[in-house]
Amino acid sequence: MRKKVTVVGAGNVGANTAQKIAAKELADVVLVDVVEGVPQGKGLDMLESAPVEGYDVRITGANGYDETAGSDIVVITAGFPRKPGMSRDDLLLANYEVVKSATEQAVKQSPNAILILVTNPLDAMCWTALKVSGFPRERVIGMAGVLDTARFRTFIAEELGVSFENVTAMVLGGHGDTMVPLVRFTNVSGIPLSELTDQATIDRMVQRTRDGGAEIVKYLKTGSAYYAPAASTVEMVESILKDKKKVLPCAVYLQGEYGFNELFVGVPVKLGSKGVEKIYEIKLDEGEKAALKKSADAVEELVSVLKKQAK
């Protein structure tokens, strides 16, 4: 039987995610959005490219959740993107309501699904979905690290003039200004980054990675990035649906790992058919630990605002 993925939010990130899932023939896709006609229109448009592109999956659009019943994965991209001058955190309360309602409705129809959160501020939205769904932590996962890592890898490949594919990088922490690109675990075909370029260049690439989302927002002016976020989400979807067991940095609910409790933080995990199948706890040096703590504190601050809101 074919797999089924629901994508909530038929905007830039959602539509691109749906399109990439279809193009890779990973699953049938249901696009859901509150705006009447948009998910139906975009879904039909994508379906009509199937004969040309040669994929055999169904893509449908809906304004409700009946059509989403029995989904294997629900990707939540619904909500507001940021505009120039805004941080991801400025979206907190508006997107809390959106993610809360989307999760409530989606999990009623798909109680066994794996939830992948994309809406920002990411780590706080993951917390919202975990609490609202009541799902075990293995099935509530945030997409951030794959994207942040992809940005870091892009800058490294461009700087060194090497294949993007050869660059392996690691970015931990929350999906915000305090994220932690780990240079020690970043290499080109096994050659540590520090062997290939000087510290000033590394520092510049690290900072550009932290500001990667804002750089795109500054160009676009009316919204935020969507091609790389969609591609990153689909890598996670594929690893789960095909049980590939890829090791990817994802936002997961930590319960003691890395010294954090009941908090979503980006760390390396194994993604397979059960969702998060393993959390890798790597040994960090003092500087890395301090940076991760700072990043986790920033997430905790946002979640404390939501805890008050949820009362």
Binding site for ligand APR (CB under 6 A): 8-14, 32-35, 77-79, 81-82, 91, 95, 98, 101-102, 118-120, 223-224, 226, 229
CB environment 229-244: b (16+ within 10 A), e (fewer): bbebbbbbbbbbbeee
Write out the H or E segment, with its range, that includes residue 251: strand 246-255
Nearer to ligand APR, 217 or 279 (CB): 217
DSSP string, 253-306: EEESGGG-EEEEEEEEEEEETTEEEEE------HHHHHHHHHHHHHHHHHHHHH
- Provide, rounded to whole angstroms, the least separation between the CB of residue 119 and ligand APR: 4
Task: Name the region of 101 (left: φ>0; alpha: ψ -120 to 50; beta: rest).
Answer: alpha
Minimum CB separation from ligand APR for residue 95, in Å? 6
Question: In terms of CB distance, is 33 or 148 closer to ligand APR?
Answer: 33
Helix (H, G, I), strand (E, B) or coil at 168: strand
Q: Is 175 a catalytic residue?
A: yes
Task: Assess whether the previous peptide bond of 249 is cis (omega < 30° from 0).
Answer: no
Residue count (the chain): 311
CA separation for the pair 100, 107 (Å, rounded): 11
Nearer to ligand APR, 10 or 21 (CB): 10
**3-state class of 7 per DSSP?**
strand
CB nearer to ligand APR: pick between 23 and 160 = 23
Q: CB of 280: closest distance to ligand APR in angstroms?
A: 25
| 8 Å CB contact between 158 and 168 | no
10 Å CB burial of residue 165 (0-12, 13-18, 19+) is exposed
Smallest distance, ligand APR to C-beta of residue 176, A: 11
Residue number, 97 or 301, with CB nearest to ligand APR: 97
Nearest alpha-carbon partner for 108 in 68, 138, 145: 68
Triad 155, 217, 11: Cα angle to 5°:
110
Neighbours of 20 (CB within 10 A): 19
In the complex, the smallest distance separating the C-beta of residue 19 from ligand APR, rounded to whole angstroms, is 13
Q: Which amino acid is at 211?
A: D
Give least dist CB 202 to ligand APR, A. 27
> Shortest Cβ distance from residue 198 to ligand APR (Å)?
33
Q: Which residue's C-beta sits nearest to ligand APR?
A: 11
Comparison of 99 and 156: residue with beta carbon closer to ligand APR: 99
Q: Tell me how far apart the alpha carbons of residues 277 and 280 are, in angstroms, rounded to a whole number.
A: 10
Cβ distance to ligand APR smaller for residue 212 or 272: 212
- Set 100, 175, 270, 293: catalytic member: 175
Please list the active-site residues: 175
